[in-house]
Chains A and B, each alone.
Chain A
Amino acid sequence: MNPYQRIVCRWCNAQNTNATSCALCGAPLDGRNLVTESGWREAPRLRDMTTIHFRQSTCQVEGEIVPVVELGLAQGDAVYFEHHCMLWKTDTIPLSVMNLQGPKRSFFRMPHIVTIASGPGRVAFSRDATGEIVVLPLHPQMEIDVREHAFLLASIDVSYSYVRIKGLANILHGGNGMWLDRFVTGQTQGLLVLHGYGNVFERTLAPGESIQVEPGSMLYKDASVTLEAEGIKLSSGFFGGTTMYLARLTGPGRVGIQSMYHHHESGE
């Protein structure tokens, strides 16, 4: 193994090099848990044609550049999604809508109708961009916040709402728009699938630990992680300069970022 590659222990979170068991707690190490030196873990690169099971249905991830998620929905299972993410479906899949206070969301250019596909049958989804599929199984009683337009689909037992980002500076400069999608599970487990632009990295912040990220790169976070925009004054010597904004994420909880982001000021 590359001596600079680090494996994080899933038991005690210590980083190890050149070892098969954790130097601190002795737990066996999994070579797939590679992290960068600062602790970012790459989203697991799903093998082409990887199949995941949820409830009575299956979810297969196909393709590696612009991946497709193909569902085999069993009778009684259903998923919801933004309508423009659907790639194809079989005749047997009925579609219905989940109404979400339409005008308010439309005003902020969020889809106000979320579509529901019910089994039995097959249906596939993709986003029109190079990136990675992030599969997040949500355990009971979990809350996760996702940036606008990043969610691909969720199983019907995950409740969907949206929270307004607080603070004018956060809305104007936070790079995440006006809303964050919030997914919450009740007493049952659910499945949430996201699309990250470019490569996706995740790390877990300890209580009070914070990190500053390019606002357009924030992909998802646990609801316990706070998000706050911070400005850095820049002066070019004329026209009074400008302010660069970063989003400060403070733990405890998981945060996910994407390496290809929409830069909120230049429009690049």
Chain B
Amino acid sequence: MTAGAPYVCPYCRTATAGNAPTCTACGAPVDVSLKATPSGWIELPPARDMAHIQCGHSSVQLAGPMVPVAEFTLAPGDGVYFPHHELLWKEPGVTVTQRGLKGAWKRMLAGLPVHMLDAVGPGRIAFSRDAAGETLAIPLHPGRSVDVREHVFMVATHPIAYDWITHEVWFQTGTGDERETHHPIGQLLDRFSAPAGPGLLLVHAHGNAFVRELAPGEHLYVKPSAFLYKDTSVHIWLHFSLPHASNVTRWTAWAERYMWVGLKGPGRVAIQSAYGHVHDPGGRITGGKHTVHQW
């Protein structure tokens, strides 16, 4: 590549000179031939071992190809926040304190971490998630925000604001005292935004991660537990498809339905290839917004 030529990272869209082996914003290899599936999914090029990402005066290095470690070198005054169980090691000089979170009670009921910790430099601190997969670096430019599924957030730098939102991916079964609410992607979505300055968000994908850009109005269905994150402009909803069955067996096949998360552009969506099974309890759906397609 010509030195100084403009280069737009296909993953994080950051424009750089392109003369480094990895994107300086997200760590993705610069000079790679992208593997795009015929349907348009782009396999996220995993950050090279020891990839170095600069974020302000601080930096982060991604090490380890199987269960990667994100090692931050924090400049004086720079900081990151993280759920407490993501911490792998730290230098004794790095100060760790509790970060105030609004709605702790609601978060606890939703099964989200109640303790969010703050670490402030100078010094080094490292994070890893207890699972095989990829660490995704998502640089957020001012004004940009993303919605991330529960329990994949690893760490974010201080310029990034953290909030959570409710969504429409839920349904109810049963009636009266037997009524039960189900949340295939969890009760809440984490929302990260960069209101003033740029920041860096790290999330963990189980297995491999794939991203694609949805055009306005374009939509697709993904397995609920494979959903990873999306631009806030992407609409998300719950969809059921019912397989074709003969008239004789249709009424007995009511539980043979496929549950999907619908995603409608414009915007970027990402999925992970290793996902847990989301159990559909079956039974008549008695509440919640969703779409149905009967084959």
Contacts and interface: CB of A to CB of B under 8 A. Distances in A.
Interface string B60-79: 01011111110101000000
B52 interface: yes
A266 interface: yes
A132 interface: yes
A110 B98 CA distance: 36
24 contacts: A2-B22, A2-B52, A36-B63, A36-B69, A38-B71, A38-B126, A65-B66, A130-B66, A132-B66, A198-B66, A198-B130, A211-B89, A211-B90, A213-B88, A214-B87, A217-B89, A234-B84, A235-B98, A236-B98, A236-B108, A236-B114, A260-B132, A261-B128, A263-B130
B65 A4 contact: no
A130 B129 CA distance: 14
Contacts of A244: 84, 87, 115, 117
Contacts of A260: 67, 128, 130-132
Contacts of B90: 211-212, 246
A214 B64 CA distance: 17
B69 A236 contact: no
Interface residues of B, number: 40
A37 B71 contact: yes
A13 to B, nearest CB: 17
A259 interface: yes
A145 to B, nearest CB: 18
Contact of A37 (B68, B115, B124): B124
The residue among A36, A40, A45, A237 with the most chain B CB atoms within 10 A of its own CB is A36
Q: Which of B64, B104, B128 has the most CB of A within 10 A?
A: B64
Interface string B116-158: 0100000010101011100000000000000000000000000
Interface in B180-235: none
A194 interface: no
B91 interface: yes
A236 B115 contact: yes
Interface residues of A, number: 43
Contacts of A197: 67
Contacts of B69: 36, 40, 199, 201, 259
A226 to B, nearest CB: 14
B50 interface: yes
B20, B48, B49, B105 — most chain A CB neighbours (10 Å): B49
Interface in A166-215: 197-199, 201, 210-214
Contacts of A237: 104
Nearest to B94: A212
Nearest to A131: B66
Contacts of A210: 92
Contacts of B124: 37-38
Interface of B: 20-22, 48-50, 52, 59, 61, 63-69, 71, 73, 84-85, 87-92, 96, 98, 104-105, 108, 114-115, 117, 124, 126, 128, 130-132
B105 A232 contact: no
Contacts of B91: 38, 211-212
Contacts of B105: 238
A211 B89 CA distance: 7
Contact of B104 (A4, A132, A236, A266): A236
A199 B52 contact: no
Q: Is the interface of A mostly helix, strand, loop or mixed?
A: loop
B117 A234 contact: yes
Contact of A36 (B71, B96, B104): B71
Nearest to A262: B130
Given A211-B91, A257-B88, A260-B130, A198 B21 contact: no
Contacts of A34: 49-50
Contacts of A159: none
B50 A2 contact: yes
A199 B130 contact: no
Q: Give me the 10 closest cross-chain CB pairs, A-B, nearest first.
A: A198-B67, A199-B64, A4-B52, A213-B89, A259-B67, A259-B128, A260-B67, A38-B124, A236-B114, A130-B132
A261 B73 CA distance: 22
A45 B66 CA distance: 11
A42 B66 contact: no
A33 interface: no
A244 B20 CA distance: 39
Contacts of A37: 52, 59, 61, 71, 73, 124
